[in-house]
Amino acid sequence: MRVNERIRVPEVRLVGPNGEQVGIVRIEDALRLAQEADLDLVEVAATARPPVCKLMDFGKYKYETAQKARESRRNQTNTVIKEMKLRPKIDPHDYETKKGHVVRFLKAGDKVKITIMFRGREQSRPELGFRLLQRLAEDVTELGFVESSPRQDGRNMIMVLGPHKKKSEARVDVEAEKAERKAAREADEEAERVERAEQVQAHEAERAAGVTKKPKGPADNLDPE
């Protein structure tokens, strides 16, 4: 964008700061109006005949444009596909561990490619892998859906799970969850500090009152009679 004295044309079609049409004016008059209004003359349509210029605060305009660009980049959803590999005869503990990873990926807004690896005689029992994939899909149904149904690919069976939430939405939820955990942790720490302070104060009060108990000796257990 050309601004102020960098605009080298004899006349321009001028637009006011609030979008009002001023009309075609000489460049000298446009620059004078900009100076009187303490604004900049900014060329917004260089290919028009004559070029269209607008009165505006160019510094504020550049700042707001940069802010919008940053916000747009922040909200962009970069599609990421995570991968998780399982065996058809996986033991319960390993299954829960693998499922935990899948849950974490879906919560973060990422797709997950699940691969069942068949070896040896397992290749003759594809139904084992199919049932395992169905079970996993049902276990995470609140977080994701089956985007690509189970299909055989050589010695492997593949299924793709997609998250219900977009990555930008998932990021907000993750940040909120982190903030909630941090607040709970700080509250617990503050409660512990208060409790320790109260214990110290109570101990100091006992010492000040002279009621600190001395250890019992043998004579303290004798009957006074």
Residue 53 tokens, joined: 């210029």
- The pLDDT value recorded for residue 186 is 78
Would you say 44 and 53 are in contact if contact means Cβ atoms under 8 Å apart?
A: yes
- The pLDDT value recorded for residue 32 is 94
- The pLDDT value recorded for residue 52 is 94
Q: Which residue has the tokens 């829960």?
A: 96
Task: Determine how β-strand 81-86 pairs with β-strand 52-56.
Answer: unpaired
**Nearest of 64, 42, 47, 144 to residue 99 by alpha carbon:** 144
Does 224 score more than 70 pLDDT?
no
Q: Per residue in 100-120, pLDDT tens?
A: 999 999 988 889 999 999 988
Element (H, E) at 105: helix 92-107
- The pLDDT value recorded for residue 223 is 55
Q: What is the band of 222 on the pLDDT scale with cuts at 50, 70, 90? A: low
Q: What is the band of 170 on the pLDDT scale with cuts at 50, 70, 90? A: low
Q: Per residue in 22-71, pLDDT tens?
A: 999 999 999 999 999 999 999 999 888 999 999 999 999 999 989 988 88
Query: Can you list the domains of the chain with their CATH numbers?
Result: 4-66 (3.10.20.80), 81-167 (3.30.110.10)
- The pLDDT value recorded for residue 154 is 85
Does 184 score more than 80 pLDDT?
no
Element (H, E) at 44: strand 40-45
Mean pLDDT value across residues 146-159: 90
- The pLDDT value recorded for residue 97 is 94
